[in-house]
C-alpha cells in the first residue's frame, strides 16, 4: 500500500497501519433496496434541477429514500476540511478555507426550495476560528427558522449536530441561543478506545456538552457506532453514561469503513443485537431509539423528535408548532 493518500499528502502512520488490513467484505444484511416513493421522486428532481447539495446524496446515504420521502435532509456547513481527525470519518483533515458568512443564508434558501419538514445541519470542527464556528452553526439555524416562518405546516424544524467546541461556555451559549429543535453531539464510541478513535475529542467533555444542552432546555441526542473494537458490556455502559448526562435520543449503527486508510471493521454486529440494544436503551429510559446496521444519526430524525416531545408531555399538535 502506497504511503500517499488520494489527495496527494503523505499518509499518517496510523493510516499506513490501517491500510495493511484489506477492506472487509460486508455481510448479506448490509444492503438496501431502493424504495422510490412520490415525495422522494419529487425531491430528487428538485435537487437536480436547482443544483442543490445535501449530505444525503453526496455521501450516498442508504436511507435517502426514506428520509426524502419524509421531506427530511441533511446539510454540511463550514467547508470540507476538518481541523480534527477521527479514524472512522471520511471528511478530510486539513486547513479549512476562510469562513463563508453567506453560507447560512444559502442553506436556508435550499431548505425553503426543498420545502423540508425537518433539516439536520452538521459540519466540520473549525478550531481555526476564534469562536470555533459557533456563529456559523447558530446563524444557520436562525436563517432556516426565519426563512421558513410562513411555511404552510409550520417552520422547518432543525436538528443541529455539533462538534464539542471544547465545551467553551460562550461558544455553547451562542449555539444554544439559536434554539434548534434538537441539539445533537455524537459520542460515537466507548471510553476505552475513545482516544484511539477520536484523538481530538474527550469522552467526558462530550458528555458535558450534552448535559449543558439539556440544562439549556434543548432536546438532546447522540450516536454510537459499533464494530470498532468495543465490547458489548462497554456499549451498555456508554448508553447509561449518555442517559445519565441528559441524552434523550440515541441512534446506534454499524461502522462501515470509508477507505483502507480508516480504522478496520473489528466486528459485524448482527441484526438481532441491534434489536436487543434498542430494548436495552428503551429500558434505560431514552425517549427515542433508532438501532440498526444501516441507521445513521439523522435517520428518521423528525420521528425521534416527535417521540421526545411526547415523552415531555407535548402533544403532536403543539410539537408541530415548536
Binding residues for [4Fe-4S] cluster: 56, 61, 67, 82, 86, 89, 298
Q: Tell me how far apart the alpha carbons of residues 158 and 309 are, in angstroms, rounded to a whole number.
A: 14
**All residues at 6 or more sequence positions from 316 whose CB lies less than 8 Å from its CB, including other chains:** 306, 309, 310
Handedness of CA 186, 188, 190, 195 (dihedral sign): negative
Q: Residue holding cell 419538514?
A: 117
Closest to 70 measured CA to CA, from 139, 105, 29, 118:
118
Residue 235 sits at φ, ψ, to 5 deg, of -65, -45
Q: Tell me how far apart the alpha carbons of residues 213 and 215 are, in angstroms, rounded to a whole number.
A: 5
The annotated binding site is made up of 56, 61, 67, 82, 86, 89, 298
Q: Tell me how far apart the alpha carbons of residues 120 and 112 are, in angstroms, rounded to a whole number.
A: 14
Residue 75 sits at φ, ψ, to 5 deg, of -125, 145
Task: Please say whether the beta carbons of 187 and 150 come within 8 A.
Answer: no
Beta bridge partners of 184: 161, 221
**Count of CB atoms situated within 10 Å of the CB of 1:** 14
**Count of CB atoms situated within 10 Å of the CB of 234:** 16
Closest to 151 measured CA to CA, from 122, 108, 102, 107:
108
Q: Estimate the crossing angle of helix 169-177 against helix 134-147, to 10 degrees.
A: 10
Amino acid at each position: 500500500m502506497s504511503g500517499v493518500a488520494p489527495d496527494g499528502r503523505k499518509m499518517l502512520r496510523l493510516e499506513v497501519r490501517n491500510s495493511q488490513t484489506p477492506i472487509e467484505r460486508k455481510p448479506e444484511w448490509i444492503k438496501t433496496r431502493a424504495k422510490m416513493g412520490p415525495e422522494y421522486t419529487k425531491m430528487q428532481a428538485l435537487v437536480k434541477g436547482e443544483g442543490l447539495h445535501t449530505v444525503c446524496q453526496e455521501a450516498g446515504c442508504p436511507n435517502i429514500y426514506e428520509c426524502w420521502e419524509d421531506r427530511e435532509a441533511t446539510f454540511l456547513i463550514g467547508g470540507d476540511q476538518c481541523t480534527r481527525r477521527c479514524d472512522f470519518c471520511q471528511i478530510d483533515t486539513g486547513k479549512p478555507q476562510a469562513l463563508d458568512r453567506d453560507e447560512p443564508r444559502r442553506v436556508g434558501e435550499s431548505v425553503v426550495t426543498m420545502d423540508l419538514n425537518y433539516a439536520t445541519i452538521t459540519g466540520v470542527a473549525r478550531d481555526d476560528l476564534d469562536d470555533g464556528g459557533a456563529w456559523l452553526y447558530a446563524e444557520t439555524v436562525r436563517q432556516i427558522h426565519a426563512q421558513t416562518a410562513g411555511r404552510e405546516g409550520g417552520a422547518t424544524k432543525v436538528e443541529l449536530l455539533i462538534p464539542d467546541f471544547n465545551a467553551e461556555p460562550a461558544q455553547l451559549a451562542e449555539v444554544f441561543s439559536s434554539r434548534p429543535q434538537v441539539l445533537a453531539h455524537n459520542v460515537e464510541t466507548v471510553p476505552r478506545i475513545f482516544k484511539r478513535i477520536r484523538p481530538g475529542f474527550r469522552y467526558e467533555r462530550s458528555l458535558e456538552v450534552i448535559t449543558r444542552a439539556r440544562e439549556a432546555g434543548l432536546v438532546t441526542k447522540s450516536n454510537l457506532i459499533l464494530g470498532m473494537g468495543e465490547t458489548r458490556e462497554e456499549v451498555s455502559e456508554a448508553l447509561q453514561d449518555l442517559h445519565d448526562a441528559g441524552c434523550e435520543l440515541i441512534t446506534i449503527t454499524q461502522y462501515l469503513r470509508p477507505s483502507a486508510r480508516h480504522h478496520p471493521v473489528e466486528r459485524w454486529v448482527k441484526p438481532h443485537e441491534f434489536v436487543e440494544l434498542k430494548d436495552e436503551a428503551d429500558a434505560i429510559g431514552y425517549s427515542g431509539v433508532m438501532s440498526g446496521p444501516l441507521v445513521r444519526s439523522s435517520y428518521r430524525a423528525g420521528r425521534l423528535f416527535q417521540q421526545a416531545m411526547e415523552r415531555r408531555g407535548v402533544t403532536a399538535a403543539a410539537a408541530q408548532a415548536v
